[in-house]
């Protein structure tokens, strides 16, 4: 099995969280910051290195999770997910393992899901593996299209999807594993020719597929576990989910 590194995207402002005094990932869930949950998940995988990508009010992010094995990259300004991961390049210089990309605002991922994602990726020797979820109501989400053999084909945004494609319920979670060398070889190719003028990480999956590489798809156990926390209501829902898990 290849060595593992983890990159955690944690640079966002969280403008809908109604708390301007803290960055998004430092909002509290049951008394702990969101980013602490995600770093704990990463630690449980015994990675060689964890790199937290901080940006907005980064001093608070660093204070929340500073410790052995945790390193920091700075994304300023925030120009998209591919740009965020690109900021980790110096920390992963010479690293030849796999890199798991997590979101610092997604504290509900199950360890069983993450371990299965990494196992699928490494046992299949894939260039990248995307975690998807089966959405009960996928309206508004990008749909994940697979090849005839079940591998990644492409992501189609809802507004661009055909009626048949809109029947697909698999959506992108924003969680990935990449072969580190192939990831950084392709990040520099990502452009920002889109309405938001941002650099999107899923473009790397398309580049890899077009190069003849195999990109796998792994399904999350539940739809709720991939949810990012974007509002106060999302925080309350996350509290309910965690309470249910403790009672189960």
Q: What is the pLDDT of residues 219-234, one digit of tens each?
A: 999 999 998 999 999 9
DSSP assignment of 16-68: TSS-TTS-GGGSEETTEEHHHHHHHHHHHT--SEEEEEE-TTHHHHHHHH-ST
Predicted local confidence at residue 196, as pLDDT: 82
Predicted local confidence at residue 17, as pLDDT: 84
Spans of the chain below 70 pLDDT: none
Kind of pairing between the strands at 170-179 and 128-134: antiparallel
Predicted local confidence at residue 35, as pLDDT: 98
| pLDDT (tens digit per residue) in 63-80 | 999 999 999 999 999 999
Q: Which of 16, 32, 236, 245 is catalytic?
A: 16
Indicate if 246 belongs to the active site. no
Predicted local confidence at residue 18, as pLDDT: 75
Backbone Cα Rg of the chain:
17
Domains assigned to the chain? 4-247 (3.90.550.10)
Predicted local confidence at residue 247, as pLDDT: 86
């Amino acid at each position: 099995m290849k060595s593992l590194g983890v990159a955690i995207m944690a640079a966002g402002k969280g403008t809908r969280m109604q708390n301007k005094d803290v960055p998004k990932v430092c909002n509290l869930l049951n008394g702990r910051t969101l980013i602490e949950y995600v770093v704990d998940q990463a630690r449980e995988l015994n990675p060689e290195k964890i790199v937290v990508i901080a940006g907005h009010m980064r001093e608070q992010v660093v204070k929340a999770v500073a410790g052995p094995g945790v390193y920091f990259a700075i994304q300023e300004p925030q120009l998209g997910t591919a740009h965020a991961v690109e900021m980790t390049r110096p920390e992963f210089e010479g690293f030849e393992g796999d890199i798991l990309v997590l979101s610092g605002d997604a504290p509900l991922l199950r360890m069983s899901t993450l371990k299965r994602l990494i196992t699928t990726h490494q046992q299949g020797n894939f260039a990248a593996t995307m975690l998807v979820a089966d959405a009960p109501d996928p309206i508004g989400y990008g749909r994940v299209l697979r090849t005839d053999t079940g591998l990644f084909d492409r992501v189609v945004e809802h507004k661009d999807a055909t009626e048949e494609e809109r029947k697909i319920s698999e959506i992108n979670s924003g969680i990935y594993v990449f072969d580190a060398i192939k990831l950084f070889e392709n990040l520099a190719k990502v452009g920002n020719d889109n309405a938001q003028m941002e650099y999107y990480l899923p473009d790397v999956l398309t580049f890899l597929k077009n190069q003849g590489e195999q990109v796998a798809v792994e399904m999350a156990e539940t739809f709720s576990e991939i949810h990012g926390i974007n509002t106060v209501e999302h925080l309350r829902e996350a509290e309910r989910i965690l309470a249910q898990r403790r009672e189960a």
